């Protein structure tokens, strides 16, 4: 059971997320369905916390960076490009593989998306990618293991 908790925890940590945690869990011999579910829940918990606490986090970040000249990160620039090209749905659907779910959700709200739309599209995106990573890893791993 501790292994599944680690999947949950790993998926909740930005930059580890689903793309790494789900394949590692499945390759290590864990049940693919359970890994997908725990990975999804772990990632969603922190994204929901970010969405709920967005206003406080934005205020904290502004105070922290007050007076500092800040250069935009590559991930932030990529997120803005995705936003301009595909809007909120596209940015959040591509977020897990390009910039991370947390960054995509945060930047989406920074650019004016509502919390509800961000939550809906984040849920769709995280769920879809969790299934894609889980199925692809399971099928790929089975392909190499079979005689």
Tens-place pLDDT, residues 95-136:
888 888 998 998 899 888 999 999 999 999 999 999 999 999
Kindly state the tokens that stand for 13: 């940590």
Q: Does residue 72 carry a pLDDT above 80?
A: no
Report if pTM > 0.95: no
What SS3 state is found at 47?
Answer: helix
Residue with tokens 């590692």: 24
Q: Closest Cα partner for 47 from 108, 134, 111, 90? A: 108
Please state, for a pLDDT cut of 70, what percent of the chain lies above it: 95
Q: Residue 145's pLDDT is what?
A: 55
Q: Closest Cα partner for 92 from 76, 79, 104? A: 104
Q: Does residue 94 carry a pLDDT above 80?
A: yes
Count how many residues are written for the chain. Answer: 147
If 0-12 CB within 10 Å is exposed, 13-18 middle and 19+ buried, where does residue 123 land? middle
Comparing 18 with 15, the larger pLDDT belongs to: 18
């Amino acid at each position: 059971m501790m292994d599944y908790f680690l999947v949950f925890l790993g998926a909740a940590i930005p930059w580890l997320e689903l793309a790494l945690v789900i394949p590692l869990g499945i390759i290590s011999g864990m049940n693919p369905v359970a890994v997908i579910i725990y990975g999804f829940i772990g990632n969603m918990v922190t994204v929901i916390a970010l969405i709920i606490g967005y206003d406080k986090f934005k205020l904290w970040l502004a105070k922290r960076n007050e007076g500092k000249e800040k250069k935009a990160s590559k991930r932030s620039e990529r997120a803005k490009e995705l936003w301009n090209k595909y809007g909120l749905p596209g940015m959040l659907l591509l977020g897990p593989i390009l910039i991370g779910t947390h960054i995509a959700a945060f930047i989406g709200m920074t650019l004016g998306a509502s919390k509800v739309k961000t939550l809906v599209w984040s849920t769709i995106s995280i769920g879809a990618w969790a299934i894609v990573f889980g199925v692809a890893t399971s099928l790929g791993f089975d392909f190499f293991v079979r005689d």
